[in-house]
Structure 1
Amino acid sequence: MAKGRVEFYTEACKSCLYCIDVCPNEVLGTGSEVNAKGYNYVQALYPEKCIGCGLCARICPDAVISVYREVG
């Protein structure tokens, strides 16, 4: 199975939670930290479960998510 890695530009996250809803492996969630705008930004709570599908990055209205897929 493919392995992925997800990164966030946390300062631009508005915590819409679309990415959490669309993730098939429940990798994402919100933590207790807040960004400068006061939002509890999304984080990869279970990064080892990421398959690199990119659904989270595609649904993000503010393009704050980057997904990298390991090949091999």
Structure 2
Amino acid sequence: MAKVQGAIVVNTQVCKGCEVCIPVCQENVIAMSNDVNRKGYHYAYMKNPEACNGCTNCGTVCPDRAITVYRVKVAT
């Protein structure tokens, strides 16, 4: 049976660092970057990418639609 591996892509220039995505990620994949974007906001990034299951919770709650979620089947 195939396992699902997820990945997120954060549009770092759109993300305002509201951190709404962090508590909804049950796999603790997302953290805030120490770097800032051109508007001066810290942005979200995948700190633990191998744990992402592509659940889409982060993309659903993002008020700025800065997160895109991808899911890929991985052969086991």
After TM superposition, is the score higher than 0.5? yes
Distance 2:4 2:26 in 1: 14
SS in 2 for 1:10: coil
- Residue 69 (structure 2) aligns with: 67
SS in 1 for 2:13: helix
Residue 29, structure 1, aligned to residue 28, structure 2: no
Percentage of matched positions with identical amino acids: 40
State how 1:35-54 maps to structure 2 within 5 Å: 35-54=37-56
Distance 2:36 2:4 in 1: 31
Aligned CA-pair RMSD: 0.9
Distance 1:16 1:45 in 2: 17
Runs of 4 or more, structure 1, over 6 Å off, are none
Deviation for aligned residue 1:31? 1.7
1:11 to 10, 13, 19: 13
Q: TM-score, normalised by structure 1?
A: 0.94
More helix as a share of residues: 1
Unaligned runs of 5+ in 2: none
Q: Which amino acid aligns with 1:24?
A: Q
Q: Aligned pair count? A: 72
Unaligned runs of 5+ in 1: none
